[in-house]
Amino acid sequence: MEKSTWKTRVGLAQMLKGGVIMDVVTPEQARIAEEAGAVAVMALERVPADIRAQGGVARMSDPELILAIKEAVTIPVMAKVRIGHFVEAQILEALGIDYIDESEVLTPADEEHHINKHKFQIPFVCGCKNIGEGLRRVAEGAAMLRTKGEAGTGNVVEAVRHARTVYSEVRRLQSMNEDELFVYAKNIQAPYELVRQVAETGSLPVVNFAAGGIATPADAALMMQLGVDGLFVGSGIFKSGDPQQRARAIVEATTYYNDPAIIAKVSKGLGEAMVGIEINQIPAEQLMAQRGW
């Protein structure tokens, strides 16, 4: 018997497909998320909208809170570490949680290196804006990707940009010959072997979810129709008027993303969505998607 192999790490992400992973800050919220049909929860002290509003350095959450959330639910529990902060990752691995998000939502701990994720037994998910960034993360050992979007804004525009970019690059790679693939791999600073694999299979080497700005069932279905495998919803649920009902509606819109009649039905009477932010109102140094290299 071999524990925590590459296949089981990538495999858990495959089991999450077609589902919604919800940010929660208390065990009670985690229960609401599980009850609404979330496939996993992200345990945090503050959702991205609050991190954005309060400023300061955002770090890994208190292990006590993460464990209390793990106790409350039976679905997988994920937690975030700062980019490059491999000791925060060692702590989460020691806690026995299910997945680590090396996340731009927290303040980066290293401006050059991401975590060498091959050194861990626990699987990692990482953010990307384009295929080069995504394949660099896979080369470092990420078993799952998510497009970054712009977290804590309730504005889906960046999530759309990043998903469209990734999948249009996948399609472009499929039309290239070997000579062109060598140059393309060099230009996007990604390992040639992974670039060639994407060109051959027409898909990313690991599961890819969307994240960052999804606030409505329509946003959820939009991202699914653009081709992502599932969704992370951060502030969009528990910063809204009726989290329980919105959570259920987003789950159903994710399953029935190709059925406008059902999306219309679940979108009715959800109360207030979270307050959104225009991306161009955010000072450049506060854009989270630009963190990571």
Partner 1 sequence: MSIGLLALQGDFREHRATLRRFGIEALEVRLPQQLAAVSHLIIPGGESTTIGRLLTRYALVEPLRARAGHDLAIWGTCAGAIILARELRDTKHGGQPTLGLMDITLRRNAFGSQLDSFEAPINAPVLGPTPLPGVFIRAPRFESLGPKVQALATLPDGEVVAARQGRLMATTFHPELTDDDRVHRYFLEL
Residues at the interface with partner 1 (CB under 8 A): 1-5, 7-9, 11-12, 14-19, 31, 34-40, 72-76, 93, 96-99, 121-123, 251-252, 254-256, 259
**Smallest distance, Å, CB 15 to partner 1?**
5
DSSP for 104-162, please give it: TTSPPS-SS----GGG-SS-EEEEESSHHHHHHHHHTT-SEEEE---TTS--THHHHHH
Please, what is the minimum distance in Å from the beta carbon of residue 18 to partner 1? 4
The answer to whether the annotation marks 234 as part of a ligand binding site is: yes
Find, among 53, 54, 60, the residue nearest to 84 by Cα. 60
Which contiguous run of DSSP H or E holds residue 148?
none
Residue number with CB closer to partner 1 (73 or 288): 73
SS3 150: coil
Catalytic residue among 7, 17, 80, 265: 80
Shortest Cβ distance from residue 214 to partner 1 (Å)? 17
Q: Please check if 235 is assigned to a binding site.
A: yes
Nearer to partner 1, 36 or 47 (CB): 36
CB-wise, 110 or 259, nearer to partner 1? 259
Rounded CA-CA distance 195/185 in Å is 6
Shortest Å, Cβ 259 to partner 1: 8
Consult the annotation and say whether 152 binds a ligand.
yes
Q: Say whether 213 counts as a known binding-site residue.
A: yes
Q: How many CA atoms lie within 13 A of 219 on its CB side?
A: 29
Output 97 or 190, the one with its CB closest to partner 1.
97
Known active-site residue 7: no
Q: How far apart are CA 19 and CA 33, in angstroms?
A: 12
β-strands 99-103, 207-209: how paired? Answer: unpaired
Identity of residue 112: E
Token code pair at residue 166: 């990734």
How many C-beta neighbours within 10 Å does residue 107 have?
16
User: Any idea which residues carry the catalytic annotation?
Assistant: 80
Binding site listing? 23, 152, 164, 213, 234-235
Binding site listing for D-glyceraldehyde 3-phosphate? 164
Binding site listing for D-ribose 5-phosphate? 23, 152, 213, 234-235
